[in-house]
Structure 1
Amino acid sequence: MTYTYTLADPRVESALSGMFAASGNDDAVAARTFARGFAAMTFEEQIAAAAEIYMPISADGGKLLYNLVRAARPATVVEFGTSYGISTLYLAAAVRDNGAGHVITTEYSKEKIDAARRTFAETGLDDVITVLEGDARETLAGADAGFVLLDGWKELCLPVLRLLEPRLAPGTTIVADDVNLPNLRPYLDYVRDPANGYHSVTFPTEDGMEISCRL
């Protein structure tokens, strides 16, 4: 029996290991950023200040995403928050190995978009990835999604979910990363309330992932 496992492709392995290694500087870069008065910056200034921060999911979180997408076999995966493309590679590898589907990912930072697109081309996965540049609350308007990853700015996770919500079919999986961050609380309160049409469970990856099913 033959099968494909794109995460074992040397190009993908090399890209992921390199970006995870580079993300080891995130804490130091973030400390310098916050020292410059991050909270007082405009949204555009915050985006520019965070351009060097990878903000990755954990490796185990990436593997979980791969398995979930392989199992769900969605026609379209929507990702809010490309950053440098670590999580996107896991999603795209799963789509490639499913033999069908596409990843639509969104990012505001032009610097990060350029770097991510280079990586997608170098790994040979650019044909299953579309990168939308700009505010996800605008670029994702009207998008259909069979699987959703919310890993952008935490304050925007709930607005992005509400934007996608009218077109989410029952059974759609929605994953949000970094459940321990306080600014994700409004989102968590929303999806953890069955009255809003979701069933949720927290999965104990490094930063915690909230996995919700659209009812």
Structure 2
Amino acid sequence: MTVTHTLADPRVETAISRMFALAEQDETAQGQLPSGAQESMAPQELADAAAGIYMPISAEGGKLLYNLVRAIRPATVVEFGMSFGISTLHLAAAVRDNGTGRVITTEMSKDKIAAARRTFAETGLDDVITVLEGDARETLADIEGPLELVLLDGWKDLCLPVLRMLEPRLRPGALVVADDVDQGEGLLRSYLGYVRDPANGYQNVTFPIEDGMEMSCRL
């Protein structure tokens, strides 16, 4: 018996493979950013400067996200930091296979949004994805809860403010996943300090996938 799922849809598989191949040039593109850009530039300036950089989730990380959404069956998945949409496609594929739910994702780069929307239409997943343009601290401010799964994969210094903003709408048992927790320079130090402090109401586990994924369960 052949088991089919949306990640195996040739349209989705081709799009993901194409973007992962293009992302192999990220190191070269990142080298063209000014030194210390993430610390010195405003979020929108940085998004515009990095408009050609994919910064994707890992292939294994994408599969993990797919499995989590299939298991949890969330009504709403929120993603902070869409980029070109590799992680979004994994989330949306799981929503499609669940037969229920939606993905709300955010991005600041107009170029990336335009490219991602074309990809979402090509894959047939655009009907379960809502793309919000702008600073997530504004675009996600009025998202209705309860929220059951949140992916934080945007600019690292904004992950904690975005989480704190969404916290009142997290239902008990909700999962918050942050990518690249082992990335150099301690970019997620404040975020990890917060979610790993028992006083803040999370139970955590770190998945050793690529640069690490921190999974925090809202207690």
- Common fold: TM-score over 0.5: yes
Superimposed CA distance per residue, residues 78-132 of structure 1 (whole angstroms, 9 cap, x where no aligned partner): 0000000000000000000001000000001111000000000000000000000
1:55 partner letter: M
Name the CA distance, whole Å, in 2 between partners of 1:207 and 1:125. 28
TM-score by length of 1: 0.96
Query: Which of 157, 170, 177 is the aligned partner of 1:168?
Result: 170
State the match for 2:187 in structure 1: 183
Q: Which moved more, 1:118-127 or 1:177-186?
A: 177-186
Kindly indicate whether residue 130 of structure 2 is the aligned counterpart of residue 130 of structure 1. Answer: yes
Q: Please list the CA deviations of residues 143-189 of structure 1 after superposition, one character each: whole Å capped at 9, or x if unmatched.
A: 22211000000000000000000011100011000001311111111
Classify 1:41/1:156 alpha carbon distance in 2 versus 1 (closer, same or farther; 3 Å).
closer
Tell me which amino acid in the other structure corresponds to 1:81: G
| 2-structure distance, mates of 1:40, 1:98 | 42
Measure the CA separation in 1 of the matches of 2:195 and 2:41. Answer: 30
The reply on whether 1:68 has 2:72 as its aligned counterpart is no
Q: Would the aligned equivalents of 1:142 and 1:164 in 2 still touch at CA under 8 Å?
A: no
Residue in structure 1 matched with residue 100 of structure 2 by the alignment: 100
TM-score, normalised with respect to structure 2: 0.94
Runs of 4+ in 1 over 4 A off after TM superposition: 1-4
**How many residue pairs end up in the alignment?**
214
Q: Percent identity?
A: 72
Contact 1:80 1:152 in 2 (8 A): yes
Moved more, 144-153 or 39-48: 39-48
Q: How does 1:1-215 map to 2 (within 5 A)?
A: 4-34=4-34, 38=37, 39-143=39-143, 144=145, 145-181=147-183, 182-215=186-219
SS at match of 2:130: strand
Unaligned runs of 5+ in 1: none
Report the Cα offset of residue 142 of structure 1: 2.8
Shift of 1:3: 5.9
